[in-house]
Amino acid sequence: MSTKGNSVNIDVNPDVYKHDWQWKEGEYTVTRSTQWTGPGCHNGCGLLYYTKDDKLVKVEGDPYAPFNQGRLCMRCINLPEAVNHADRLKWPLKRIGERGENKWQRISWDEAYDLIVEKVKRIQKDFGPETIVGMEGTGRNICWQVPLLTYAGFGSPNFAMGFLSGDSCMVPRTSISFCVLGDLSVVDCSQFRDVRYDDPEWVVPETILVWGNNTIVSNPDGFFGHWIVDCMQRGSKLIVIDPQLTWLASRAEIWLQVRPGTDTAIAMAMMNVIIEEGLYDQDYVEKWCYGFEQLAERVKTMTPAKAAEISWVTKELIIEAARMFAQSKPGALQWGLATDMSVNGIPQAHALMCLNAICGNYETTGGNVMAREPWYMNLAYQVGYFDFLTEEMREKRIGDDVSPMHQFGTFSSTAQGDAILKAIESGKPYPIKMLWFQTTNPIANMGAEAPRVYDAIKSVDFVVVVDLFMTPTAVAAADLVLPAAMSCERNGLRTWWSPLRSSVQLTQYEECKSDETIVLELCNRLNPENCNWMDDIDLLNWRLEEGQAPVKDFTELVQKVHVWPDHHYRRHEKGLLRPDGEPGFNTPTGKIELYCTTLESFGNDPLPYYEEPPESPITTPELFKQYPLVLTTGHRSFEFFHSEHRQQKTMREFHPYPLVDIHPETAERYGISEGDWVWIENMRGRCRQKARLTATMDHRVINAEHGWWFPEEEGAEPSLFGVFNSNINNLTTQCVTGPTGYGAPYKNQICRIYKATEENSKVMPGEQVTRMGGFKYVRK
Amino acid sequence: MSANKIGFGLLINYEFCTGCHVCEIACKKELDLPVGQWGIKVLQDGPRKMANGKWEYNFLPMPTSLCDLCAERIKMGKKPTCVHHCQAGIMTYGPLEELVQKMTENPKTVLFAPR
Ligand code: SF4
Ligand code: SF4
Ligand code: SF4
């Protein structure tokens, strides 16, 4: 089952590249596999590992992987540098100094497990299993493993995604998608069939609406970003909504330079135009959409003129974009993380789905298709939840009282990061006694209000970190640090979305273990009646069997590398989306719910609405005089994935410092030149990054990088690898979310900037946070 | 046939070069180049606003004098690593005559004949 037509790398030499899973090339063993682990992104590209004497020597893209068709991004090409890096964690380490001193003692795995088991048992007995929280970072192949450990091993309902405020990465979008569409949709770049662009049934999207997303850099959630470029080369036109001119925006027919956080106003105004001018797909709306009249009423309140005033995009451009999108057959919507990162995130995602729906673009070829895990391989964040916990224990999950949507979210069953933070701080509803961090580095990265998260994690009795390198989070808070294996050192499987793929262990680095192995070995010791897998392969076989995947076992999957399920278009017409086999979408009304009955039943607004960011020129005009710039953050760069890759010298050659994008006029106003260190500051704190002047920003907006720390700097406090000095999360907030508990304003803050001088750099943020009680403000 | 003789080259469709740096890093790994050295360097023009209000924003990868057209790989029957991995799929390796022919089919292309 391999690809035939390869539209990117045509004429691959079959004497060199084989369809087998493994062969010899000179002195190397070549293995076809998948990369879907740290360090690197969510995608699961197919690659060829070149190994020799138990060592990874080089990596090539697998031309027979239909997903990436031989291509790789910087991060995977540079994998050998990561895998063979001398600074990697090599064996379990136990803290011997105080927290923050960065003093460790090597111990064996057995000693580490014994220590964990002893602590866990004592905490379970004295305080209850629920006081143990399992956390993970970005969702790679830890996203069913950590819940498994939390539920089956610790016996706690509290699995959470780091301290990500408002769960603002994909989860808001996914949860509302399940309510409105009954599924989660992605742009159809023919990624669901192995023949890819040669599929005779596939048509190229006429227009792709790229909303808040620079796909070529960010490779969003199982979507290979350059597929958009493939479509462009085959004729797709673009409309791009972004505060900054991305390369995609430079190639777009229309670029809407939005004020961060105001996207919903634009989406509603576009619908206003499309409905007023009768450009919507009347047939599709009649047959497949619910609540069109109410939506039409609602969007009347958002005229293009009003949206223009709110969003800083001209009325003419909004109208033009609306007409162009509505008249494209098919149109497609590519949305990004920006959708989740505002308190208006849920209504924004809802608005975007309505916009796409009234243009008739769901389940059409070249439009948006409902993405599903192959077979029943539901390996998202909810594995084992219902099986391993009693009803009584499930009800103790922290954050369920935030909103019914949070409680009943269908995609994720997670405790809310903000609520966990508050529980640590207040001891309510009960104290938190243990934190388990598996490849998450919240004070460098996903935790907004990083100094506050730092205080919280330091105060918890027992903290374990599993990671690839010694991180700022580990030095600050860990009692025990465990070394995780990288890609070619572990057996794993990958869905999210099609196809089902394998990754296979080829080498062993020191005493590192795969996340699967750590989870099951610990589960085995903690709760053998729940978890009696022999080893990682046994565990994977269990997943394959549960999912009814069409392979005998993991060994067969390894040899097949990729396994493709069938794919059909227009499944809503054929009764293929609903469990009852009726035509329609998998929602209560069987239709796409423009008027969302699920939101209504939760007591939330059933229609899209616009809400200002909590701190903005309009919401807080007085504060804005002091902090007269809009701050957006969190955009990606080619070299890094979140806080990873900073220790690779090749990546740092390309990108040595954190960069803040500033319009030249703004820079001039504040006496800032290209390459100056600049302080970025607001009510909560400050950090410094280097100025990059670019005329493509609105002069009222600056764009700062996230995820920075400096592995080359001192690890012990007050430095913590310099993590607070350039940390944009000194400025963002925790516990300020949308009414559903989803969505937080990471990307729409306010700030001021000034040039860093010796005088104003005497007390650096690291010192301020770790030695002087932090920045002075009242925490919400 | 030895590849780094005049007669072979790289054709680049720079309309779709996204500036993703993959050719640069792939080449660095292939030639084992130290910090500061490049076998191919991606040059950038813009972003700058033009009189018509549109933005000019182009990347152009330029092979340097260190490029040997991946002689080792070509000998093995592989493509140059920059061509193999280019995320936009816009680089083609081949005999110059063929590439010139291809140039006529696509606007915004450049042809390099490194040696
Ligand atoms: S997108 Fe890049 S980092 Fe992610 S799997 Fe593919 S090559 Fe690796
Ligand atoms: S052909 Fe090979 S040596 Fe030349 S630029 Fe490309 S990767 Fe470098
Ligand atoms: S790899 Fe391709 S798209 Fe990326 S910078 Fe090089 S030529 Fe451009």
DSSP-derived secondary structure for A494-546: E-SSSSEEEE------TT-B-HHHHHHHHHHHH-TTT----SHHHHHHHHHHH
- What digits encode the pLDDT tens for the residues A333-358? 999 999 999 999 999 999 999 999 99
Taking contacts as CB-CB distances below 8 angstroms, the residues of chain B near A216 are 18, 20, 87
Check pocket membership of A73 for ligand 1, CB cut-off 6 A: yes
Check pocket membership of B27 for ligand 2, CB cut-off 6 A: yes
**Model ipTM over 0.90:** yes
Between β-strands A104-106 and A480-483, what pairing exists: parallel, antiparallel or unpaired?
A: unpaired
Q: Pick the ligand that lies closest to the CA of residue B26.
A: 2
Pocket test for ligand 3, best of B23, B81, B110, B112 (most atoms within 8 A of CB): B23
Smallest Cα distance from A596 to chain B, Å: 39
The rounded distance, in Å, linking the Cα atoms of A343 and A754 is 28
Ligand 3, residue B85: give the atom nearest the CA: 1
The rounded distance, in Å, linking the Cα atoms of A512 and A534 is 18
Q: Quick one: pLDDT band at residue B63, thresholds 50, 70, 90?
A: very high
Q: Most B CBs within 10 Å: which of A75, A232, A250, A698, as the mutation test of the B interface?
A: A250
Q: What's the pLDDT at A10? A: 59
Look at chain B and count its residues: 115
Q: Most B CBs within 10 Å: which of A30, A41, A74, as the mutation test of the B interface?
A: A74
User: Using CA positions, which residue lies closest to atom 4 of ligand 3?
Assistant: B20
Residue B5: pLDDT over 70: no
Between β-strands A132-136 and A434-438, what pairing exists: parallel, antiparallel or unpaired?
A: parallel
Ligand 3, residue B20: give the atom nearest the CA: 4
Residue of B46, B48, B87 with shortest CB distance to A226: B87
Pocket test for ligand 1, best of A43, A60, A636 (most atoms within 8 A of CB): A43
Nearest CA to A381 among A411, A346, A409, A402? Answer: A411
Burial class, A461, CB count within 10 angstroms (exposed 0-12 / middle 13-18 / buried 19+): middle
Check pocket membership of A75 for ligand 1, CB cut-off 6 A: yes
Taking contacts as CB-CB distances below 8 angstroms, the residues of chain A near B59 are 247
User: Using CA positions, which residue lies closest to atom 2 of ligand 2?
Assistant: B70
Residues lower than pLDDT 50 in chain A = 1-7, 9
Taking contacts as CB-CB distances below 8 angstroms, the residues of chain B near A226 are 18, 20, 87-89
Ligand 3, residue B90: give the atom nearest the CA: 2
Measured from the Cβ of residue A530, the count of other Cβ atoms closer than 10 Å reads 16
Smallest Cα distance from B34 to chain A, Å: 9
Sheet holding A104-106, edge to edge: A104-106, A93-95, A480-483, A462-467, A434-438, A132-136, A159-160
Check pocket membership of B18 for ligand 3, CB cut-off 6 A: yes
Ligand 3, residue B88: give the atom nearest the CA: 3
User: Using CA positions, which residue lies closest to atom 8 of ligand 1?
Assistant: A76
Q: Which amino acid is at B107?
A: P
Which residues of A fall below an 8 Å CB-CB distance to B?
7-9, 13, 15-16, 25, 58, 60-61, 63, 69-74, 77-78, 80, 216-217, 225-226, 229-230, 232-233, 245, 247, 249-250, 255, 638-639, 649-650, 653-654, 694-696
Q: What's the pLDDT at A500? A: 94
Q: What's the pLDDT at A531? A: 87
Instruction: Compute the distance from residue B68 Cα to the ligand 2 centre, in Å.
Output: 6
Ligand 1, residue A40: give the atom nearest the CA: 3
Q: Which helix (H) or strand (E) holds A315?
A: helix A315-326
Q: Is B41 on the interface with A (CB under 8 A)?
A: no
- The answer to whether the Cβ–Cβ distance between A654 and B25 falls below 8 Å is yes
Q: What's the pLDDT at A410? A: 54
CA distances from A215 to A66, A172, A182, A430, B3 (A): 18, 19, 25, 41, 35
Q: What's the pLDDT at B97? A: 94
Look at chain A and count its residues: 780
Residue of B29, B46, B86 with shortest CB distance to A71: B86
Its pTM stands at 0.96
